Structure 1
Amino acid sequence: MDNNPRIHDAMEQSIRHLASASLWEADRAEDSRRKWDGAWWHMAALYEMGEAKRIPASAIAKAAQLLDTQVWQTFVITEHDQPTSDADKRKLDCCHCELAVYYMVLAASGCDVDHERPWIREWLLTHQLPDGGLNCNPDAYTGSRKSSVISTLPPLEAILWHTEREFTEREASFLDEGARYLIEHRLVCAKQDGSVIDPEWLKPCFPRFFEYDILRGMSFLAEWSRRRNQAVPAGVLAEGLERLNGCIDAGGVRIGRQVFDPQGPWGGHVFPLLEAVSGIGDVSPYLTRQLHEVTARMSLQRS
């Protein structure tokens, strides 16, 4: 647990908030995912901090029930995927990255998600595109067939970090193809001309929720290399580290941006824990830990 008193107090406040029964009333299902103060984002912040076990059991049970009863369990690509009954039309729609975040929160909290909700893993594995990634825009599946880096990382992480057994052939292929996608894009670059797709991705972000940054991609590749006993091509992680260097000092990795930036496309209400762990310019112990894992893998790969 972080020793920062402000973070500790804000964490306790989020935990109390999540324990509130009224938070999970049926007519507030949509509120649970509201950016950025909905219940799922409180849970996701705790998960990214490594504190998922502190999420109240009552909140986990209610969140799981919401997924079971109030989410349309199909990604709508064509009209045949759409709900038809009035009851189903009232259900929440999900995208890949959102659903993968929910999966990781529940799995890290001790739920046997694959046994109780096998449809989630199946959803993630089913929607990989030929280039190795995924896309939350349905048009990509009937048109461009091109993936989105943002849509791709959470599903890859869900399978990589929350499979406590040997990977099946299908899962191994899913992860390997996802790694290929990231490698071919050199974490942040367009394949066509090598330009950086979005300069904002060079700024570490915490908590990320579904957002992407270069360290997130590096972290996935390092863990994929370890779990799959595969080498990351020489230069990909080193180049990523070089791009990240401006945000690293002797103290660790400094936060470069906020996913909820009021001036950005995702501005919205926030909560004390989110503000406490996301200060721009602050050294993030959580991002620093990721960086150490990446550099350790780089050292091992060189040896």
Structure 2
Amino acid sequence: MDVLAWLLDSDPALRWQVERDLAGAPPEVWEATRARVASEGFGARLLAAQDPDGRWAGGAFFPAGFRGDEPQPWTATTWSLNALREWGLDAAVLGDTAGRLAANCRWEYDDLPYWDGEVDCCINAWTLANGVWLGADVAGIADWFATHRLPDGGWNCEWVEGSTRSSVHSTLNSLKGLLAHEKATGGTAETREARRGGEEYLLERGLFRRLSTGAELAPWVREFGYPMRWHYDVLNAASYFRDAGRRDERMAAAIELIRAARQPDGTWLQQRTDTGRVWFPVDVPAGEPSKWLTFFATRVLDWWDAR
């Protein structure tokens, strides 16, 4: 199987990244493919679903009318912005979306203004990344992360319920938000220190072990799935460290877990899918070879093996 050719036969949202990071295509090639995200495939379909007031599905984190009697839906504004940003959409295509959301979108939690964030670490991380991408003023959210780290070095979305122990899920998502902010603005001394400390929280655990016993955190550290959304696994974590440009030997065993999951034909399987409403599917069902996961895993291994 020609895995590269298989990956290149993809929606523009994935193809441009394959061209840039795996195929070594020149900028004029992958940039042209990236521009097609706005007019073709996944990107165009999701853009067409945007409400006139700037939102998606009439809500910030949950769609309008959500009552909690169904699995988490993935159609509301935050999830839609996450997808478009991760697919590489040029923020200019969204025009005045940041302003429309400031005027029309409020969090389901306490009716707080959208670009001010709320109390959930993961939600704030996505809002921080989406905000710097769209040009919104989200400096207050970046500062929030610096003051809401837990004593063990990471973050936990349940801090508001009294949790004092960090979560790998919350910590990884927080790191992604802080990295996006730092790349866009340079960050502050406090946010840079917070991000470095959060990285140490994960690295001390080898990305997948309990600090107390060295045992594996749970089976889900090996269960790779796309879209990744809020879920933690070693592929998601290693992809962050690649994006951050930080190689550390403490993640060597986690890298081997990723390598071991490669199938004989060079692909990686979809191992986890989320229930809940979506605008449309963007990857294969569980058990089938996933182009997205194969791309992420191949890119991580190429980066690691080039040390």
TM-score by length of 2: 0.71
State how far apart, in whole Å, the 2-side matches of 1:243 and 1:13 are: 35
Match of 2:131 in 1: 106
Match of 2:85 among 43, 47, 66: 47
Q: Deviations over 1:27-83 (max 9, x none)?
A: 75552696222232222222222336486324443334456xx3499xxxxxxxxx7
2:163 is the counterpart of 1:148: no
- For the structure 1 residues 54 and 218, does the alpha-carbon distance in structure 2 shift closer, same or farther, using more than 3 Å as the test? same
Query: Which amino acid letter does the alignment assign opposite residue 87 of structure 2?
Result: M
Aligned length: 264
State how far apart, in whole Å, the 1-side matches of 2:155 and 2:217 are: 16
- For the structure 1 residues 251 and 138, does the alpha-carbon distance in structure 2 shift closer, same or farther, using more than 3 Å as the test? same
Unmatched segments (≥5 aa) in structure 2: 1-6, 14-39, 67-71
Match of 1:157 among 146, 171, 176: 176
Query: Which amino acid letter does the alignment assign opposite residue 282 of structure 2?
Result: A
State how far apart, in whole Å, the 2-side matches of 1:282 and 1:54 are: 35
- For the structure 1 residues 287 and 88, does the alpha-carbon distance in structure 2 shift closer, same or farther, using more than 3 Å as the test? closer
Match of 1:277 in 2: 283
Query: Which amino acid letter does the alignment assign opposite residue 52 of structure 2?
Result: A
How far 1:284 moved relative to its partner?
Answer: 4.2
Match of 2:217 among 197, 206, 212: 197
Match of 1:80 in 2: none
Match of 2:229 among 209, 214, 227: 209
Query: Which amino acid letter does the alignment assign opposite residue 271 of structure 2?
Result: G
- For the structure 1 residues 147 and 66, does the alpha-carbon distance in structure 2 shift closer, same or farther, using more than 3 Å as the test? farther
Relative CO higher for 1 or 2, CA cutoff 8 Å, sep ≥ 6? 1
Match of 1:219 among 239, 245, 261: 239
**The residue matched to 2:202 in structure 1 has which SS?**
helix
State how far apart, in whole Å, the 2-side matches of 1:179 and 1:48 are: 21
How far 1:22 moved relative to its partner?
Answer: 5.7
**The residue matched to 1:197 in structure 2 has which SS?**
coil
Whether the aligned pair in 2 keeps the contact of 1:247 and 1:255 (CA below 8 Å) is no
Match of 2:47 in 1: 15
Match of 1:244 in 2: 258
How far 1:280 moved relative to its partner?
Answer: 2.6
Match of 1:124 in 2: 145
Unmatched segments (≥5 aa) in structure 1: 74-82, 262-267
2:121 is the counterpart of 1:96: yes
How far 1:23 moved relative to its partner?
Answer: 6.6
State how far apart, in whole Å, the 1-side matches of 2:220 and 2:214 are: 16
2:197 is the counterpart of 1:177: yes
Aligned CA RMSD, in angstroms, stands at 3.6
State how far apart, in whole Å, the 2-side matches of 1:153 and 1:285 are: 23
State how far apart, in whole Å, the 1-side matches of 2:283 and 2:292 are: 9
Whether the aligned pair in 1 keeps the contact of 2:239 and 2:296 (CA below 8 Å) is yes
**The residue matched to 2:231 in structure 1 has which SS?**
coil
How far 1:106 moved relative to its partner?
Answer: 3.1
Query: Which amino acid letter does the alignment assign opposite residue 229 of structure 2?
Result: F
- For the structure 1 residues 6 and 277, does the alpha-carbon distance in structure 2 shift closer, same or farther, using more than 3 Å as the test? farther
**The residue matched to 1:189 in structure 2 has which SS?**
coil
Q: Deviations over 1:215-266 (max 9, x none)?
A: 111122334444xxxx51x2x33311222234324444332212x23xxxxx
Whether the aligned pair in 2 keeps the contact of 1:64 and 1:106 (CA below 8 Å) is no
Query: Which amino acid letter does the alignment assign opposite residue 107 of structure 1?
Result: V
Query: Which amino acid letter does the alignment assign opposite residue 21 of structure 1?
Result: P
User: Which sits farther off after the overlay, 169-178 or 247-256?
Assistant: 247-256
- For the structure 1 residues 293 and 24, does the alpha-carbon distance in structure 2 shift closer, same or farther, using more than 3 Å as the test? closer
- For the structure 1 residues 282 and 64, does the alpha-carbon distance in structure 2 shift closer, same or farther, using more than 3 Å as the test? farther
Name the % identity: 22
How far 1:151 moved relative to its partner?
Answer: 0.8
Q: Deviations over 1:122-166 (max 9, x none)?
A: 1122211121110111257x5x52101111112111122332354
- For the structure 1 residues 270 and 94, does the alpha-carbon distance in structure 2 shift closer, same or farther, using more than 3 Å as the test? farther
TM-score by length of 1: 0.72
